[in-house]
Amino acid sequence: MDAAGNAVANTYTLNNSYGAQATVSGGFLLNDTMDDFTTQPGAPNKLFGLIQSDANAIAPGKRPVSSMTPTILLRNGRLSFVAGSPGGPRIISATLLSILGWMRMGLGAQAAINAPRFHHQWMPDKLMIEETFPSAVERELVSRGHGVARRTWIGDVHAIGLDAQTGERLGAADVRREGAAVGY
């Protein structure tokens, strides 16, 4: 976000860690989003266990399904929150939960990002929760018949929130992967 209030939201992801683990001239890494195409309809993909259909099959001119969700939010017509995250299919959950923390729960930008996250992608039928998720909530979910699996982290959200009263820019970096907010 610049001094004039212009903002950019970015989702930086290579799909898997270090993408395809190959670089090109100039030294940048290639992604491995071919895994986001359907290679076998009805079978889970390699990286995220997503079950896909023929609609996402590899074919000329097609693009793979994507969960990228760079987000710019306005409140009463004014810039309020800018966020983005890597994390494959978990991007949407991580970003949405941070947005809800900011917009609906009244949390500050950093608190919204720090809050424990959960994710469900239909198949496999397991609710993924972070290690910091309250144990009492997990026990209640299991008692109601839900499959639950703990993960170290879900997403890696970085954001800027604007204080509605002061206009102060509140940089927020995800501590899950040692992020840092930097201003100028």
Please report, for the chain, the start and end positions of each structural domain, with discontinuous segments joined by +.
13-66, 67-177
Total residues found in the chain within this entry? 184
Q: What confidence score (pLDDT) does residue 132 get?
A: 93
Q: What confidence score (pLDDT) does residue 184 get?
A: 66
Name the percent of the chain lying above pLDDT 70: 99
pTM (two decimals): 0.87
CA 20 to chain centre: 20
In contact, 91 and 13? CB cutoff 8 Å: yes
50 burial type by CB count under 10 A (0-12 exposed, 13-18 middle, 19+ buried):
buried
Q: Which amino acid is at 136?
A: A
Mean pLDDT computed over 108-122: 95
Cis peptide before 64 (omega within 30 of 0): no
Task: Round to the nearest angstrom and report the end-to-end CA distance of the chain.
Answer: 10
pLDDT tens-digit series, residues 135-182? 999 999 999 999 999 999 999 999 999 998 998 999 999 999 888 888
Say yes or no: domain 67-177 is CATH 3.60.20.40. yes
Average pLDDT taken over every residue of the chain:
90
